[in-house]
Chain A
Amino acid sequence: MKKIKDKPQESEDLLLEKDRLWQPRIVAFLCNWCSYAGADLAGTSRIKYNPQIRIIRVPCSGRVNPLFILRAFIDGADGVLVSGCHPGDCHYSTGNYFARRKFALLKRLIEFCGMDERRIHFSWVSAAEGSKWSQVVNDVVNAVYQAGPFTGFDLPVFSKETEIETPADLCKQGPERFAYSIDLMSRTGKK
């Protein structure tokens, strides 16, 4: 838990107000050598882009453990962006190639689980691409804005109407425990 030092706490009213004017919370993991410098360039070039992005600087996109991305969602992010050097430009020569595999698999995995694809983004932004960075951010913010607040980890409310239909065999409304005949008993082969 954080310690309160000097920063005043947000008052309840302010929080409510914020709730009404919902803005997406997006966590961005930027590689130190390219994308972070690119974002810097966008700043020094006075390029405007959406401010809903929270940047975390990492040494390389290869440093981004898929766990970081998942943890960001758990801790309340509405979207995640990971950005690194273009292939071939990696400061550590191959970090982003390894990262590319991880991200491709992670994206497929969490989208398979039902995560909205508008919430998770990857980009290559070089140190010279300040304008591309602003474009990427705007795109990401727009996409997450469309997707709305992420409530995937709130407890689902079950009722008859929202009952989930699943392919027949996945979730059989199974027989009661052991209400099978005894000769079908598990793992038996009679001697």
Chain B
Amino acid sequence: MQTTIETDIKQVETMNKQISKKAIDAIISELTEGCQIFAPVVQDGIKLYKQIESPEQINWGHGNCHRSLKELFFPITEPVFSFRQTRKGIQIETPGNHNKKRVVIGARPCDCNALSITDKVFKWDYEDELYLSFRENTLIIGVSCIQPEPFCFCTALNLSPFDETGSDILLTETGKGIYHANIITEKGVALFERFKEHFTEASPDQSARKDAMLKDIVSKMPAPFPMQDIKTWLDKNFDHPVWEEIALGCIGCGTCTYLCPTCHCFDITDESRGYAGERLRNWDSCAFGHFTQMPAHQPRPLQWQRFRQRVMHKFKYYIDRFSRLACVGCGRCRSLCPAGKDTVEVIQTLQKQIDLAETGPKTNKKG
């Protein structure tokens, strides 16, 4: 199957505005009434998206959050419903916290972009209301990456540190305390209309400066990988001996999948005490052996098979199904892998295999 990789989904014509840091704080203060605000907060030595009460709590630093934005829409653990055995039978109650209006501020473009990827799977055929109601009720104000982290590689996947996909409004710090604001979606426009007085028209030199900054950052970051070629190679090489080699060292923890902004696998379990209990949806990881363990059968008994599943899922299966790469290059898996496994290295190894297949002797391919 030959499918092409889409990279960008354009929404409405974007508006270019400008806003000061002070005005942003004012907007947030006003929004805290009637809205839940989430923003990067540093606590206990780690940076996470957390609910805040005032704009001072926001950490505007350049680093990305340790855990990705997905946890606000697809929580680590989330009650699907609670049940209670009564004399009238079993009563089921579904959670009621999904309709609150929420605003996320300070999300990185890679995280926002990842949501447009997970949207696909949660909307596919059956619509997952738990995830989608959170999505619908949340407005996302992204902040462009003007200082990529050491392990970032979004440009290698044809994405940009100023990517607009997934954000409703994208802020870019073009000067001290001055943000260039792209109003991208209808939700963004609605917010803009409400706080019109805080925004000013973006001056041409601001826009020019933004473009120059982007150019400067991208020039340093890794050049795009031929993901289409890699996809073609993956189509044919499920049984290639290189897989066993690539996965060497993987200790089988779930760090990469849990930190990944696009990994969306979950488990459903029940927990109960006495006459009542809850059914919970928890994150799960394809790196775990028990992920696919059936009573008498295990399709992926070895770690390298599970590793292959993850790579294949990101760079082939997802493209086949949803025409998107399931990787945004946020670099979390690279930086925090306990055994120093590196997604970029995996891509490079596959690239080497392509070169080998073209020049060297043919490898044993599956028909």
Chain A contact residues, CB within 8 Å of chain B: 1-4, 8-9, 75-76, 171-174, 176-179, 182, 185-187
Contacts and interface: CB of A to CB of B under 8 A. Distances in A.
Q: By DSSP majority rule, is chain A's interface helix, strand, loop, or mixed?
A: loop
A176 B64 CA distance: 8
B340 A187 contact: yes
Contacts of A186: 335
Given A1-B277, A176-B61, A176-B62, A185 B150 contact: yes
Chain B's interface size range is 20 to 34
A32 to B, nearest CB: 26
B45 A178 contact: no
A174 B62 contact: no
B85 A174 contact: no
B45 A171 contact: yes
Interface in B230-289: 270, 272-277
Contacts of A76: 273
B87 interface: yes
A174 B45 contact: yes
B76 to A, nearest CB: 14
Contacts, number: 57
Interface centre among B59, B66, B149, B150 (most CB of A within 10 A): B150
Given A1-B277, A9-B275, A185-B150, A177 B85 contact: no
A173 B63 contact: no
Given A9-B275, A75-B273, 4 more contacts: A2-B275, A3-B85, A176-B61, A178-B63
Interface in B150-190: 150-151
A4 B335 CA distance: 52
Contacts of A172: 45
Contacts of A177: 46-47, 63-66, 149, 335
Contacts of B59: 176
Nearest to A171: B44
A182 B86 CA distance: 61
B344 interface: no
B42 interface: yes
Contacts of A179: 61-63
B25 to A, nearest CB: 19
A173 B42 contact: yes
A178 B340 contact: no
A4 B45 contact: no
The 3 closest A-B pairs by CB, nearest first: A174-B45, A176-B63, A177-B63
B335 A176 contact: no
A186 B47 CA distance: 19
A75 B272 CA distance: 10
Interface centre among B44, B276, B340 (most CB of A within 10 A): B44
A171 B46 CA distance: 9
B272 A1 contact: yes
Contact of A178 (B44, B86, B150): B150
B85 A1 contact: yes
Nearest to A163: B43
